[in-house]
Structures are given as C-alpha cells and as structure tokens.
Chains A and B, each alone.
Chain A
C-alpha cells in the first residue's frame, strides 16, 4: 500500500511542478470577466448566467485536465523511459497504475476545491442565490472527472498519447449521447437496431447520469438516493477501467 501513496504524492508534486494549477487563474478570470461583462443584463438572467457559467467552467476545466494530464500519466513515463527506473524497484505494476491515478485525483481534487471556492465567492460578490443543490452538481461533476481520468489512464496503457486523447474525447462525447441513443432505439421497429444500441448503451459510460447542472443552477435538486446511485455507478465504472488498465499494463513488455 505504501508504494501507492509514494507514487501518488510524487505524481501530485510533479503536477504542481508542471504548473497545472495555473489553470485556476484562467478559471477565475473567465468567471469574473464573464460576470462583469454580463452585469448589464437583468438581475434574474445575470444570476443564472453566472451560476451556469461557473458550473460549466468547473466541469470543462476538470475534464480537460483529466484528459490531457491523464493520458500522460503512464505514456510520458514510457516515452521518457523513466518507467524502467521505477519498475526496477520493488513496486508492482498495479501499484504504479493506482498511485499515478490517485496522484492525479489529488491534483484534480485540490483544483476543483479552489474552483468551487472562487465560484461561491463570485456568487456572493454578485449577490446571486447560493443553493445547497449546487454542491450536488459539483459532487457529480467530480465523479465524472474521476471517470474521465480513469478512461484516459486506461487508453494510455496500450496506445500513444495522441490516440489516447482521441479515444478519451470520443468516449466522453459518446458518454453524453448514449441516453438519447437508447431513447431512439426504444422507438425503433428493428430488433437488431435495438440490440446493437442497447449494447452500446451499456458498454459506454452514461455520463448524462452525472449531469444535473441545469437543474442545480435554478435550485432544483435531485433525490439523495439518485445522487448516491449515480455516483456509485460512476465509481464502479471507474474501478472497472482501473482494473482493465492494470491488466493491460501487467502484460506490457518493457
């Protein structure tokens, strides 16, 4: 267990050295800049737009970091050949993968916590209402980010960084569309179409299950039981991807 923690802390430090947290400046500027620009709109719309913009920015920034840092977690170590020095130590490959993943999760956690604080401060500054349900949306966004990180890591264990990024972005987009795909399939007359679309639906992650931003922005919450089940789904899918990544990485020749 200890090697996992060491690798995680090292990854976290490496991320800090790579100036990943600089994105927060971009986030803060975007949010405050947009809020100031929109300040001449009517009160209601103005508040809603700050909330919408804040939640969307938290989501986008989180996902972008998860994808572009996630694909480099393992790939960069292999390309730079630093993986050999790590593997020469008494560290299991599984521990290496899990450590890398947890390190990035720590970075994302810190990043998101700061973003949420800036977001709440902006809301407070513009006297926009702060609903408790905003935190429901943020919690589900974090689960989504965990899942996307696992996707990026999974792909990076067997392909190049460019392809991993393409696959992860592709899976992210599909993940937001599968629910509609299933809806269309249900209305289809053909059994084959139904079977194919249903398989696609269950194979790809359903990221829409983790998306309640629109409702949260207007103060409409979802039941806690739903939030718990949707989070459980995201975490189980993440765990499956990590197990898959470990299996593939175990079989790779160095």
Chain B
C-alpha cells in the first residue's frame, strides 16, 4: 500500500511539475517583448559570416532564417526601420544561398508593392537576376518597380522584354511589354499589367495591395475620361460645367462611372479638373511629359 502511495506521490509531483512548467512557458510567451523576436533577426550577422559558420549546411541555414523571417514579416510595423530589417534578412538569406529564388520573389514583391521600399526591392531583385538569370519572375517584378513606383516605363519595358525571353514566361508578356512602351501613360495598359501581376502573386496581403493599386488606376482612367468630357463641354458651351451631372444631361457622356473606392467624382479646382472624394492623389506614372 505504501509503495502504491509512494508511486502516486511521485507521479503527482511529476505531473505537477510538467503542468507548472507549461504554465510558466505560456506566461513567459505572453511577456516576451515583441521586439525581442524582431531583434533576433535584426542583429543577424552578415551573410558572409554566417556562410562560414554554418559549414556546408548553407541551404538548411537559409531555410531556417527564411522560415523565421516569414513568421515575423507580419509583425513588423510598416516603419522605415522595420522594412530595412526585412530587407536585411532577405539579403542575408540570399547571401547564404544565392539560388533561393523564393526569397528574391517574395522580398522583391513585398518591399516593392506592399512596403513601397523601392530601392531595397530593386537591389534585392537585381541581385536575384545576377545569380539566377533564367528565372522570369525576377525581371518581371523589377519591371513593376520601374513602371509603377519609379515612373520609368522605358526601363520597365526593358525588364519585361528580358522576362519574356526566359523559359516559363507567360505568352502575354512580349505583347504587354510592347504595349507599355508604346502607350506609356495609358491606364488601360497599366491595369492589364496589374491584373497579370495579381494573378501571379499568392500572398493575400500582396493581392490586397495590388487590388488597391488597380482601383487607383481605375480612378485615374475615369478622371481622364471625365476631364475629356469637361473639355468637350467647355468647347461646346464656352463655359465650364457647374457639376459633372451636366455632362450626362447634355449627352456628352452616357453616365458618371462608379468610383471604386466608395467615393464620388466631383469637379475640382483649377477649373476643368476632376477629382475623387476618396483618393486625393493623381498617379505620377500617367502624367504625360
């Protein structure tokens, strides 16, 4: 009987210790400052040192750092420091394993489309192209950065052409590249490109960012359309319309398009311009010089 009691006591002690340890772990997890996790990677040594330290296990090392980076990518705030940190991690991962295409793709797309850290995105993608000259997605994303973020359709088209010549590139690319060069400043070409890019990326947050970009391009297209109507009104009646509805009433346009961000289109100042109540800016890329 005492033997059984002793065993019960010991098992109870063991169970109690394990339960208490798990309790402490859960409590410590909650207390662990979020910056501690971010710092783990922010203070990651340079890739060239890690490469030596991990001996021959470079792929495993880069996979592990990559997994950590992907976990915490959502946690960093969209601050300059946070995104620089993200770039640093991608740079280290690709230093250790220069053939890690996913890191260039995701890093390039996230930094360019989502974080609008264009210079870092370009550096990462150029490094990727240098080490992986046969991957079409890298010049494709680089084209996005030049076309959309840097307002440079000529360089963008160069990268689209480069992408279209690589194995596995979709058939629409050469045509799209030509169209974007010839019709630089045409929102319809940009919209088509963004739709293609949207179909290409898997990440939900990136897709949302791209949908937002598409809506902005639609607004630009609608504003150009409405401003053309306003000019026709002015030419016909020798005065500016009092409101946009006048264009419909005078049969200059069939209807005022629906604003995709939930606002409305109104006449702006100076006279002859149209603006959206939901999206204040105009997209640089379509400004014809």
Instruction: Identify the A interface with B (CB < 8 A).
Output: 52, 177, 180, 183-184, 187, 202, 206, 209, 212, 214-215, 217-218, 220, 222-223, 225-226, 229-230, 232-233, 236-237, 239-240, 243-244, 246-247
Are the C-beta atoms of A206 and B25 separated by less than 8 Å? yes
Chain A residues near B20 (CB-CB < 8 A)? 236
Q: Are A233 and B25 in contact (CB under 8 A)?
A: yes
Q: How far is the CA of A243 from the CA of B68 in the complex (A)?
A: 34
Residues in B with CB closer than 8 Å to A184 are 67, 71
- Is the CB of B165 closer than 8 A to any CB of chain A? no
For the complex of A and B, list the 4 residue pairs with the smallest distance between their C-beta atoms, beginning with the closest: A233-B24, A236-B21, A240-B17, A183-B71
CB–CB A237/B28 < 8 A: no
Question: Could you tell me if B28 and A214 are in contact, using CB atoms closer than 8 angstroms?
Answer: no
User: Counting CB contacts under 8 A, is B64 at the interface?
Assistant: yes
Inter-subunit contact A240/B14 (CB<8 Å): yes
Nearest chain B CB to A46's CB is how many angstroms away? 14
B33 in contact with A223 (CB, 8 Å): yes
Cβ 8 A contact of A225, one of B13, B29, B31, B45: B31
**B 171-215 contacts with A by CB, 8 A:** none
Q: In the complex the two chains form, is B17's CB within 8 Å of A239's CB? A: yes
Q: Return the chain B residue nearest A232 by Cβ.
A: B24
Q: How many A-B residue pairs have CB under 8 A?
A: 72
**B254 contacts chain A at the CB level, 8 A cutoff:** no
Q: Are A209 and B28 in contact (CB under 8 A)?
A: yes
Chain B residues within 8 Å of A247, by CB: 10, 14
Q: Do B31 and A229 touch across chains, with their CB atoms under 8 A apart?
A: yes
B22 at the interface (CB under 8 A from A): yes
27 contacts between A and B (CB under 8 A): A180-B64, A180-B67, A180-B68, A180-B71, A183-B71, A202-B22, A202-B25, A209-B28, A209-B32, A212-B36, A215-B36, A217-B43, A220-B39, A226-B31, A226-B33, A229-B28, A229-B31, A233-B25, A233-B27, A236-B17, A236-B20, A236-B24, A237-B21, A243-B10, A243-B13, A243-B14, A247-B10
With A180-B64, A184-B67, A202-B22 as given contacts, are A229 and B27 in contact (CB-CB < 8 Å)? yes
Main secondary structure of the interface of B (DSSP, over half): helix
Contacts known (A183-B71, A229-B27); A222 close to B36, Cβ less than 8 A: yes
What A residues does B271 contact at CB under 8 A? none
Residues in A whose Cβ lies below 8 Å from that of B36: 212, 215, 222
Bound CA span A239–B33, Å: 26
- Chain B 248-289, CB-CB to A under 8 Å as 1, else 0, gives 000000000000000000000000000000000000000000
A177 CA / B64 CA spacing, docked (Å): 9
Task: Point out the residue from B28, B40, B43, B64 that lies within 8 Å of A233, measured CB to CB.
Answer: B28
B18 adjacent to chain A (CB < 8 Å): yes
A247 to B15, CA, bound (A): 13
Query: What's the tally of chain B residues with a CB closer than 8 Å to chain A?
Result: 26
| B39: A residues at CB distance < 8 A | 214-215, 218, 220
Residue of B17, B33, B39, B45 most packed against chain A (CB within 10 A): B17
Q: How far is B36's CA from A6's CA once the two chains are assembled, in angstroms?
A: 42
> Chain A residue with minimal CB distance to B13?
A243
CB proximity to A under 8 Å, residues B12-55: 13-14, 17-18, 20-22, 24-25, 27-29, 31-33, 35-36, 39-40, 43, 45
Known: A180-B71, A217-B43, A240-B18. A229 touches B24 (CB 8 A): yes
In angstroms, Cα B29 to Cα A198, docked, is 14
Residues of A within 8 A of B17 (CB): 236, 239-240, 243
- Name A244's closest neighbour in chain B (CB-CB): B14
- A209-B28, A223-B31, A247-B10 known; A240 vs B21 contact (CB < 8 Å): yes
Cα-based distance from A209 to B35 in the complex (angstroms): 14
Give every chain B residue within 8 A of A239 (Cβ-Cβ).
17
Whole-angstrom CA separation of A131 from B180 in the bound complex: 57
A201 → chain B closest CB, angstroms: 9
- CB neighbours of A243 from chain B (8 A): 10, 13-14, 17
Contacts of A232 in B (CB 8 A): 24, 28
Q: Chain B 1-14, CB within 8 Å of chain A: the 1/0 string?
A: 00000000010011
Residues on B with beta carbons closer than 8 Å to the beta carbon of A222: 32-33, 36
- Closest CB-CB distance, B249 to chain A, in whole Å? 54
| Residues of chain A with a CB closer than 8 A to B43's CB | 214-215, 217-218
User: Distance (Å) between the CB of B205 and the closest chain A CB?
Assistant: 13
Known: A215-B39, A236-B24. 13 other contacts (CB 8 A): A184-B67, A202-B22, A202-B25, A212-B36, A214-B39, A217-B43, A218-B39, A218-B43, A229-B27, A230-B32, A233-B21, A240-B14, A243-B13
B68 cross-chain contacts in A, Cβ below 8 A: 180
Q: Which residue of A lies closest to B22 (CB)?
A: A202
> CA separation between A244 and B21, bound complex, in Å?
14
- Which residues, 43 to 98 on B, are CB-close (under 8 Å) to A? 43, 45, 64, 67-68, 71
Instruction: Report how far A158 CA is from B45 CA in the complex, Å.
Output: 40
